[in-house]
Amino acid sequence: MEKPVRTTFSSSVSSAAQEYQQRGWTVAETANGVCLITDDEIAGIEVTGETAAFVRRFLRANGMTGPVIEIPGAERREIHIVTGVRKAAMAIEALRAAGAVVYTDGAGIPLPPSRMAAGPAGQCNWGVAPSEARWVPPVVALGAAVRAAAKGVPQRARMAS
């Protein structure tokens, strides 16, 4: 599969698209808004329901929270933006086996303030905006959180150094 080409924007492009591009993300504008185009550097991990709630708490308690997109709908759905995809084949397989949706290899992820193509549910929003996140965590951090959720492991706050 061909690697996506970084999009160069003209001055008429939305400020949101320009902000994402300044972060080094490959983005494309669509009729519904701006999409992150995944590659071997950056991807998205979608988790739902109680797993999503557990993963968010686990990452926060351990100081590993990165950008999180909240998708509107009856069930809680979140997409965590992650890095380190190139070296994480086993973690990605484990995430998929655990029921997570993994967006890689040129898949598009709607970025706020995009409208979801899936219907009238509305606009996706940042649960944790990139500017609020300390970093973009590696996919293995999400893998650890999803494994902990599957085992029902209680979250522990990171110990002070």
Q: What is the pTM of this model?
A: 0.82
Is residue 159, in this structure, part of any structural domain at all? no
- The token pair at 11 is 């001055």
**Structural domains of the chain, count:** 1
CB 67 within 8 Å of CB 126? yes
Is residue 20, in this structure, part of any structural domain at all? no
Return per-residue pLDDT of the chain as tens, 161 residues: 444 444 444 444 578 788 888 889 999 988 878 899 999 899 999 999 999 999 999 999 999 999 999 998 888 999 999 999 998 999 999 999 999 999 999 999 999 877 665 444 568 899 999 999 989 999 999 999 999 988 875 554 433 33
Domain that holds residue 94: 26-151
Is residue 18, in this structure, part of any structural domain at all? no
Is residue 4, in this structure, part of any structural domain at all? no
Is residue 160, in this structure, part of any structural domain at all? no
Is residue 15, in this structure, part of any structural domain at all? no
Q: What is the CATH number of the domain that holds 60?
A: 3.30.70
Q: How far apart are the first and last CA of the chain?
A: 44
Strands lying side by side in the sheet with 125-128 = 101-103, 42-48, 77-83, 68-71, 125-128
Is residue 13, in this structure, part of any structural domain at all? no
Is residue 128, in this structure, part of any structural domain at all? yes
